[in-house]
């Protein structure tokens, strides 16, 4: 199985997200039973998005982009894994933007992963080489079952730049991530993925899919990526 994960980041309100779905459906992308499509949305979009994918019969699974590192309780404004459990099957954790802009540590990311698993949500753990070992070690320290997680190698210099790294170099790092996680979990690549390059990454022997930021926002570009992998 290969995976395409979209990450809308802080874009699209409810209305825009539903228009995006209508536009995607109208493009008739070539979905394959060998490729799972996951779209990670802003919290506010998820409920109505779920209704609409069911109405349209689209093989897309929703995810979120973040979760609290705390359990339910007195934490004003936090969205807990327990709340998300009724809405999503996947959740991105540890994206480099959250580390940079919100000071998230490897320990917080491990706590999030653990709470997600307790609520039957698959954590999609983003990694880059400077903190890859530390993050994976933190997962083991917090007793996170890494075999139930996804990992994504996301070199920071390749994110949003239009300049992906060489797929062979990416495969080298994803292999290392696989080794550190007992080769028990899918390992993906993210960073300037487009329909022109997605297959070059998924054709590597240790890359199980791609995480797409910029090109997931535009239905035509996202549909082309889906079709390019079918
Ligand atoms: C990302 O932010 O995770 C990402 C992969 O973005 P982009 O596709 O724009 O490089």
pLDDT digits (tens, 9 = 90+) for 83-120: 999 999 999 999 999 999 999 999 999 999 999 999 99
pTM above 0.85, yes or no: yes
Give the number of the atom of ligand 1 that is nearest the alpha carbon of residue 152. Answer: 3
- Name, in order, each residue with C-beta under 8 angstroms of 81's C-beta and a sequence gap of 6 or more: 67, 68, 71, 91, 112, 115, 116, 118, 119, 121
Ligand 1 in reach of 155 Cβ (< 6 A): no
Residue nearest to atom 7 of ligand 1 (CA): 213
Report the catalytic residues. 95, 154
Q: In which band, very low, low, confident or very high, does the pLDDT at 67 lie, cut at 50, 70 and 90?
A: very high
Give 195-225 pLDDT, tens digit per residue: 999 999 999 999 999 999 999 999 999 999 9
For residues 39 and 6, the answer to whether their CB atoms sit within 8 Å is yes
Residue nearest to atom 1 of ligand 1 (CA): 213
Ligand 1 in reach of 192 Cβ (< 6 A): yes
Ligand 1 in reach of 127 Cβ (< 6 A): no
Give the number of the atom of ligand 1 that is nearest the alpha carbon of residue 211. Answer: 5
What are the structural domains of the chain?
2-228 (3.20.20.70)
For residues 216 and 45, the answer to whether their CB atoms sit within 8 Å is no
């Amino acid at each position: 199985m290969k995976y395409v994960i979209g990450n809308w980041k802080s874009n699209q309100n409810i209305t825009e997200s539903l228009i995006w779905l209508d536009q995607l459906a109208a493009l008739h992308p070539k979905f394959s039973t060998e490729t799972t499509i996951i779209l990670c949305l802003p919290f506010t979009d998820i409920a109505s998005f779920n209704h609409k994918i069911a109405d349209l019969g689209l093989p897309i699974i929703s995810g979120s982009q973040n979760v609290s590192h705390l359990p339910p309780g007195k934490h004003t404004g936090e969205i807990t894994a327990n709340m998300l459990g009724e809405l999503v099957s996947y959740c991105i954790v540890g994206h480099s933007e959250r580390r940079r802009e919100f000071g998230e540590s490897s320990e917080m990311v491990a706590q999030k992963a653990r709470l997600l698993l307790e609520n039957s949500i698959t954590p999609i753990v983003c990694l880059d080489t400077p903190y890859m070992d530390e993050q994976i070690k933190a997962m083991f320290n917090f007793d996170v079952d890494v075999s139930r997680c996804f990992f994504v190698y996301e070199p920071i210099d390749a994110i949003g730049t239009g300049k992906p790294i060489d797929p062979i170099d990416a495969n080298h790092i994803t292999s290392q991530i696989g080794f550190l996680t007992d080769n028990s979990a899918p390992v993906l690549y993210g960073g300037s993925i487009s329909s022109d390059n997605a297959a070059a990454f998924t054709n590597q022997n240790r890359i199980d899919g791609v995480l797409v930021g910029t090109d997931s926002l535009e239905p035509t570009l996202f549909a082309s990526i889906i079709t390019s992998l079918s």
